[in-house]
Structure formats: C-alpha cells, structure tokens
Amino acid sequence: MSTRRSTRSSTGAGKQQTLSFKHKVTKAIQTGKEGYKSPSRAKEYIPEPSPEPASSKVATKLFQQQHESEEEEAAETPTSSDDEQQQQAAPAAAVQAQPDADAARAEKISDREIERYWNGIEASREAKAVHKKHTQDLTTGEKVLRYFDVSSQYGPCVGIARLKRWQRAQRLGLNPPVEVLAVLLKEEAKGNTDIEKAHMDELLNSAAVGSVGV
C-alpha cells in the first residue's frame, strides 16, 4: 500500500505565509517632479528695457531746439520800448483827465436846470404829497443829493463820500446824473464841507452814538 505525501507546506498548522516586499523594481516610475527646480536656485529674470523709439528721440530733439530758439528770441527782444510806455501812459492820462472833463461839464449846469431836473423827479412820483411833506424844509440841492443817496443803482452810499460815489459810478459806466455833481461842486465852492456825507450815513452814525449812550 503506497503512502500519500502531503502537499501542505512544512510550516506549522495555523500559520499563514507572509508576502515579501524585498524584490527589486526594474521599471522606472515617473513622479512628475523630475523637471521641478527650487525657486531659490532658479535664475532671476530681469527684463531688459525696451529701446526708445526713433520718433520719440526726434520729438525730444525738436523740443530742445524750439526751447533754445525761444530763449534766444527772449534775450534779443527788449523788455519795453518807448512806444509801449506811451501806450501804457495814455489810458492813465485819460483816467486823470476824465474827472476834469466831468467837472467842466457840471459847472455849466445852472440852478434853473437843477430845479427842472428835480421837478421831473417829483412829477414821476405817485405819492407826491407825502414826499413834498417830508422835503418841504430842504433846499433843492439837498433834495437832489438825498435822492441820489437812496438810488441803489449807483452802489452803496454808506461809508463813502458823495463825490467819490458819483465818480465811482461814472467810471463803472452807470451814468450818474450830472446835476448831482453840479450841486456838489456848488456847495463845495460855498465852503459847505458837510455836504459830502450821505444823509443815510449821518442817521446810522447818530443811531450808533445813541445806543452807546444808553
């Protein structure tokens, strides 16, 4: 009778065989890191400046030439000539001559013309009796001047002399009445220096003095 050999391993019963990982790898495995280089080792890239275009160089050269030519012309041109000085002096002389011309025109105004001027103002008023009541003790010249004081189209009357206010309005082209200037010149010729202050200015000054006394 033949005996059968067991094909079971000589290892003891109940023990399991273990796998061995000690074999060699014959095929190379690419990990994707072969082309990676450290940033610290990489060569720093510094872009080279782009060349200046030829058109820019031409424009810069033309600008320099133009600037040099302007400086040469400025050096050769005189600062002021006799003709320019005369042209500048002409307007100044005209401004100085204007008050004299206005005064000469005002001196030709008679008292009758001043009276006619004031009668025209009274005729244009609607409440004639009221205005006549408040101005009955005043001369015609004072009536004309007080009416000029309250005429706002010629600028404020407080803090400025009547003559200067008239001249200022004339320079601004507001055409103040020449009769007002005639009254002022006639009163100054009489030695009345108080005529220069506007009536409104006197009222404000008196009110200010009265408030201080209280």
pTM: 0.53
* Locus of tokens 């050096």: 75
Is 64 inside any structural domain? no
Domain count, the chain: 1
Average pLDDT score, the chain: 74
Q: Is the pLDDT of residue 110 over 50?
A: yes
Is 130 inside any structural domain? yes
Is 124 inside any structural domain? yes
Angle at 27 between CA 24 and CA 31, to 5 degrees: 110
Instruction: Print the domain residue range for 199.
Output: 98-213
Is 67 inside any structural domain? no
pLDDT at 99: 82
Q: Is the pLDDT of residue 214 over 50?
A: no
Q: Is the pLDDT of residue 207 over 70?
A: no
Is 17 inside any structural domain? no
Under the banding of pLDDT at 50, 70 and 90, the label for residue 160 is very high
pLDDT at 74: 59
Q: Is the pLDDT of residue 161 over 90?
A: yes
Give the residue ranges of DSSP H helices in the chain.
54-76, 82-107, 111-123, 128-134, 140-149, 162-171, 178-189, 199-213
pLDDT at 88: 58
Q: Is the pLDDT of residue 127 over 90?
A: no
Encoded tokens for 130: 């009221």
Angle between helices 140-149 and 162-171 (to 10 degrees): 60
Encoded tokens for 86: 């005369």
Is 57 inside any structural domain? no
Is 172 inside any structural domain? yes
Is 191 inside any structural domain? yes
The dihedrals phi and psi of 16, each to the nearest 5 degrees, come to -105, 140
